[in-house]
């Protein structure tokens, strides 16, 4: 936190030198002299699909609010900011945005009045979107979305850190500012997958580690850190590379497809903040697009130095749990009494409905946050094809103490061949105080 503060302060100070430059530097847009003509139904429909790819609704809508009217609070280390009204209301929304203004907000992080947007709006990813997708998106927001009159809320970031112009420098340093360039060495499917993951899908905003200034350390596969797993908002978004333990090394392309399409596969069920991405975005992607994403992700190499020895199932735990071990080891006792009913003594879960705890990334990653958070608070409801799932992970916040939770998770992270680190009471206590079980009850957000 302190380090971040100093970095941001550094950016502010260095930024002073750049003020004059920034004042005169509004990024240009290919649409600067273009007047958008009345869009066709096809273009609007395509824009709606791009809005699904980009998951705009998840951030620009509150669970009890109107679609795209904004107001969702987003915590940053410097204070809260609120998403804005992006309905076409001329007074409180973006009704007066020209296509070029819209492009600058999406791809450069500059609002129509020239102020810089906080990078909580994922423009470092959206800047890879094609002109065609931006045009379609604009058509949808202007013609396909209901205008809603709802004033924006001011940010709660304290002065002087709420000064927005240093963000222009942040921008120059940390974003690439270029539309996705297809790689000639790869086929069309790979390139489509890369485009979706890096651009509209902004998967890296959760799955890529961030540096001290909150920047994603890599924006494409040229770096081994790209999509190598990251901690954000109390959830650990695991590696999407071929790492066999913390990543997708043991998943096939079909497994990745099924997970993004149905919210589940034999390896796991969507939970934590991935539910937002699934409920509102990935399940609406076309089969071709999902297969392209799977194909691209499966091309990203593992990092054996970081990921450690490959997990292998060990049956001994199930036998131990059936004998007297469960009475003697505190964590095993808690597991047998509370968890085995669903996740099984064999740790293998039940079909596709209850995920295994044997060999999953939340049990193998050095970061135990996802395991702790889901045990404390449960998971937001997964809704596939309009149908809420019937089995849910119950919250144990009220039933298990910090010590009991640390014991049961330490146990599960070492059972069935798992080799995740032990979980401490302090880690559980910290997440208990930082997380709010009410925030877990996210529902699917209707776009119309």
Residues between 70 and 109 that touch ligand HEC (CB under 6 A): 74, 81, 83-84, 86, 94, 105-106
130 and 53 Cβ atoms separated by less than 8 Å? no
Q: Is the dihedral of CA 327, 332, 333, 338 positive or negative?
A: negative
Residue 94: CB atoms within 10 A of its CB come to 23
Residues 332-361 that bind ligand HEC (CB under 6 A): 338-339, 341-343, 354-355, 357, 360-361
For residues 55 and 307, which CB has a smaller minimum distance to ligand HEC in the complex? Answer: 55
2 or 303, CB closer to ligand HEC?
A: 303
Our finding on whether 331 is near ligand HEC (CB under 6 A) is: no
Q: In terms of Cα–Cα distance, which of 109, 115, 77, 58 is closest to 211?
A: 77
Pattern 364-383, ligand HEC, x by CB under 6 A: ------xx--xx---x--x-
Verify binding: residue 229, ligand HEC, rule CB under 6 A.
no
Q: Please state the length of the chain.
A: 448
The closest of 332, 305, 330 to 318, measured between CA atoms, is: 332
> Integer distance in angstroms from the first to the last C-alpha of the chain?
39
Judged by CB under 6 A, the stretch of 143-151, 303-311, 388-396, 427-435 that binds ligand HEC is 388-396
Q: Which is nearer to ligand HEC, 21 or 391 (CB)?
A: 391
Instruction: For the segment 255-294, give every residue that binds ligand HEC (CB under 6 A).
Output: 256, 259-260, 268-274, 276-277, 282, 293
Give the CA distances from residue 206 to residues 215, 222, 232, 436, in Å, rounded to whole numbers and listed in that order.
11, 18, 6, 19
Least separation in angstroms between CB 104 and ligand HEC? 9
Four-point Cα dihedral 252, 254, 259, 261, nearest 10: 160
Cβ neighbourhood burial of 287 (10 Å; 0-12, 13-18, 19+): exposed
**String of contacts with ligand HEC for each residue 160-199, x by CB under 6 A:** -------------------------------------x--
Segment 118 to 157, residues that bind ligand HEC, using CB under 6 A: 118, 120-122, 137
Query: Please, is 309 exposed, middle or buried when counting C-beta atoms within 10 Å of its C-beta (0-12, 13-18, 19+)?
Result: exposed
394 binds ligand HEC (CB under 6 A): yes
Residue whose CB is less far from ligand HEC, 4 or 68: 68
Do 230 and 241 contact (CB within 8 A), yes or no? no
How many residues bind ligand HEC (CB under 6 A)? The answer is 74
CB closer to ligand HEC, 184 vs 393: 393
């Amino acid at each position: 936190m302190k380090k971040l503060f100093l970095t941001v302060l550094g950016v502010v100070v260095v930024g002073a030198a750049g003020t004059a430059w920034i004042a005169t530097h509004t990024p240009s847009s290919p649409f600067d002299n273009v007047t958008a003509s009345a869009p066709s139904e096809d273009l609007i429909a395509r824009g709606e699909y791009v809005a699904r790819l980009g998951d705009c609704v998840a951030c620009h809508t509150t669970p009890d609010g109107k679609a795209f009217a904004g107001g969702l609070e987003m915590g940053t280390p410097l204070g809260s900011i609120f998403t804005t009204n992006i309905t076409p209301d001329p007074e409180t929304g973006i009704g007066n945005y020209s296509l070029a203004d819209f492009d600058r907000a999406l791809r450069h992080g500059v609002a129509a009045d020239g102020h810089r947007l906080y990078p909580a709006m994922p423009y470092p990813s959206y800047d890879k979107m094609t002109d065609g997708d931006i045009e379609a998106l604009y058509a949808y927001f202007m013609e396909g979305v209901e205008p809603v009159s709802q004033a924006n809320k001011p940010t709660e970031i304290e002065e002087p850190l709420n000064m927005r112009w240093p963000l222009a420098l942040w921008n120059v340093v940390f974003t690439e500012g270029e539309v996705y360039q297809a790689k000639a060495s790869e086929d069309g499917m790979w390139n489509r997958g890369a485009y979706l993951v890096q651009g509209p899908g902004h998967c890296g905003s959760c799955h890529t580690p961030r540096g001290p200034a909150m920047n994603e350390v890599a924006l494409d596969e040229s770096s081994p850190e790209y999509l190598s797993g990251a901690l954000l908002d109390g959830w650990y978004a695991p590696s999407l590379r071929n790492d066999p333990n913390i990543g997708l090394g043991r998943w096939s392309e079909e497994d990745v497809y099924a997970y993004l399409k149905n919210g589940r596969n034999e390896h796991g069920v969507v939970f934590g903040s991935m539910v937002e991405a699934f409920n509102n975005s990935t399940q609406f992607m076309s089969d071709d697009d999902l297969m392209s994403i799977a194909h691209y992700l499966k091309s990203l190499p593992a990092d054996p130095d970081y990921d450690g020895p490959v997990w292998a199932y060990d049956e001994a735990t199930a036998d131990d749990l059936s004998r007297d071990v469960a009475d003697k080891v505190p964590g095993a006792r808690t597991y047998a009494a509370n968890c085995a009913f669903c996740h099984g003594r064999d740790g293998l879960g039940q079909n596709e409905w209850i995920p295994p705890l044997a060999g999953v990334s939340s049990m193998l990653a050095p970061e135990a946050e996802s395991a702790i958070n889901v045990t404390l608070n449960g998971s937001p409801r997964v809704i596939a094809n309009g149908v809420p799932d019937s089995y849910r992970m119950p919250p144990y916040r009220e039933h298990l103490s910090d010590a009991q939770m640390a014991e049961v998770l330490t146990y599960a992270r070492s059972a069935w061949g798992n080799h995740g680190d032990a979980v401490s009471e302090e880690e559980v206590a910290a997440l208990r105080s930082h997380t709010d079980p009410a925030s877990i009850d996210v529902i699917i957000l209707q776009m119309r």
